[in-house]
Structure formats: C-alpha cells, structure tokens
Amino acid sequence: MQVPSSELKQRMHRFRLRMDRSDPDWKAAVIFGKVNQYYFTGTMQDGLLWIPRDGEAVYWVRKSIERAQDESLFSRIEPMNSFRDVAATIDVLPDNLHLECELVSLGLLRRFQKYVPANDIRPADGALAAVRAVKSPYELDLMQRAGEVHRRILEERVPTLLEEGMSEVDLAGRLYPVMIEEGHHGVARFAMFQAEVALGHICFGESSLYPSSFDGPGGNYGLHPAVPILGSRQHRLAKGDLVFIDIACGLDGYHTDKTQTYLFAGTLDAAATAVHRQCVAIQDQIAERLRPGAIPTQIYQEIMTSLDDEFLVNFMGYGSRPARFLGHGIGLQVDESPVIAKGFDEPLEEGMVLALEPKKGIEGVGLVGIENTFIVTAEGGRCITGAHPGLMPVY
C-alpha cells in the first residue's frame, strides 16, 4: 500500500516549518535513516534524502531504484552510484548541514563530507521527532488497526497458548506465528542505540525482575549473555505463576505497545493484587491528562509526587535503576517523542500517541502493572489497545 502523495507533501511541509522555527539559519538536511526515509518518501532503500531549505527535495537511491519507484509516490527519486552524484547537483554547497546525529556514524559522515564538505554539522533529530510525534489521520487509522490486532493477540489468543511446563521460549515460538496470522508486520523497531528486540519481554514469575540493559521497567533472562532477549529456555511455566508479556505489535510500519499479565492456574495474594490495581489506576490518571496543552514534565511530576515512599520502592523497575518515565511516544518506532518524564516541556498536541506503562516489581511474584497505547484528544487519552485490566485468569 503506497503512502498517499498528499501525506508525503504534508510531512515535508511540516518538517520545513519546524526547521525554520528551531534553526532559522538552516541550509539543508540530509536523511540517512531508513525509518525517516520511509516517513518522507514511503519507501526505505539504500540511499539518502536531500532536503534543501529552498528547492526540491531529492531521494537519492543506490539500491533499489526500481523498488523505490514502484513503492513511492515521492515527487523526485534519482539513482545514485556514490555521494559524488549528490554533490554534482548542488549549486551552492551549504555551510551548515543538519542530519540524524543520534544515528549517523562518524565513518558515514566523513565519507559524505568528502563530497559535501560542510563542517558545521547540526542535529535534525529534535525537529524530526517533533514532526513525527503528531500523527495524521492516515497514521492514526493504521495505529488504531494495529491496536485492535494487538488487543486480539494478548486478550484472546495468548490464553489459549499457555501450557504447564512450557518454557518462555516455547511461548515465544507459539506466539510469533499467531501475531503474523493476526496481521502483525513482523518486526519491532526501536530508535534506542543498538536495541535488539525479537518480540519483547515474555516472562514467567520472577523472571520479569531480572535486570536488563533495556531502558524500561521490565527485564528477562534472555537466551544467552550474547543474546539477552526474548526469554529463557530453562524457565518453565508452573501453576500459580504470574505471566508477564510486554510486546509491540505493528501494522504497515506503525506500532502499538501493550503489556498484559495473566494468572496461570492460581491466584495472586491480596497485597500484590492491590499493587497491580494501583498501577492500573495510575495509567488511568495519566490517560485522563493526555489532552492538548498538557506538559509531559508536569504530568510526570504530579503522578510521582502523589505516590508514597513505600510504593515507589521498585516502581518502574526492580532494583537499582528504575526507568525514569511513565510513558513514551510511539509510531514508526516504539520509542518516540514525547515522553512522560522530566525534561519534556513542549505541550501535547491532538493526534500524538503515547504508550503508558506504570509497573512495579514484587519479590517472589514478578512485575505487575499494565501498558496500553493512547491517542491524545480533547477529552483525554483514548485507548486503542483494549480495556482488560490485567491479571487475566487462565486455567
């Protein structure tokens, strides 16, 4: 399915307006990242997108030009053998250049500067994040459809997959084809540096408390120190276990994020149940605040200061380094702007989409809590991934 030409033009227009606002002296931006290339062109190839302040943007493609022309309605797509081809078309080389500083390696930059020798390199990351944060009706439609797929997977399909004695990897092996069958696009994309995620966190009992380098509240044992993702082959499901599944789901490039918990052939004690319910209440309190004009920093501070010291122990992560956020933007990547955390002071706008995930670790039980994806509206956050409060009993 091609991204409409009108959609691509509107995205480019909004990016240029944002660049004018954030750096009035900007001359040109070059986009190397495939996700951002897709956002502006509707295809992702081996190439670069050249965006001059004045003049026509050009998508230069090394491979595959045929596929780019087949998939994309972008106005100008040109073949490229090397960066020399790009430089040859630039009448006046820019004295400053914006690019994805969080992504582009020093080696790639130096190869590009050999032909486009701009020494004043400035970040385009903030402008790109801000533009992508506000979803169009076209994007919101895809995300709502992804959210319904996500709901079906976690609220209807997963309970039929659980079986006593299975390992976490066994569940992952059963879950992935179900996700594909339901419509998932097969990958979970993150902007986080060197993040590798197969499905997400699939955990039985206390395995969700095991520390992880991933910047989130949950953890898992993983397959091996060299592959610390997915789940464990050794950790097996027993009666009375809390099952914790935190996975992303996507449709045509756009993701939602959701966490569902299950009680397998048992019950949870009253204290742990009360903690879980408080996490659900926190999600609902944040969601009510997801209105245009609200400041993410203020939402974060209001929620955190409302919690007592006892509850804050192991809140948003078990152990020494809890996550310092309560929710995050989501779209073409799972971890986008804005973030419900300190330092995010730009007001929310209608059409932004955030995943809210208040969670707390409990020794002897695992990670309880919830996560769902919400659209910012004038009436507050509207959930698009289902309404089940978690601790779903499975017998």
Cα dihedral value 10, 12, 14, 19, nearest 10 = -170
Dihedral sign for Cα atoms in the order 32, 37, 41, 43: positive
> What is the chain's pLDDT, residue by residue, as a tens digit (395 residues)?
899 999 999 999 999 999 999 999 999 999 999 999 999 999 999 999 999 999 999 999 999 999 999 999 999 999 999 999 999 999 888 999 999 999 999 999 999 999 999 989 999 999 999 999 999 999 999 999 999 999 999 999 999 999 999 999 999 999 999 999 999 999 999 999 888 888 999 999 999 999 988 889 998 998 999 988 888 999 999 999 999 999 999 999 999 999 999 999 999 999 999 999 999 999 999 999 999 999 999 999 999 999 999 999 999 999 888 999 999 999 999 999 999 999 999 999 999 999 999 999 999 999 999 999 999 999 999 999 999 999 999 99
**What per-residue confidence (pLDDT) applies to 1?**
83
Q: How far apart (Å, rounded) are the C-alpha atoms in residues 237 and 359?
A: 21
Q: What pLDDT is stored for residue 215 in this prediction? A: 87
Name all domains of the chain by residue range, CATH numbers in brackets: 5-131 (3.40.350.10), 134-394 (3.90.230.10)
Structure tokens at 262: 């299950």
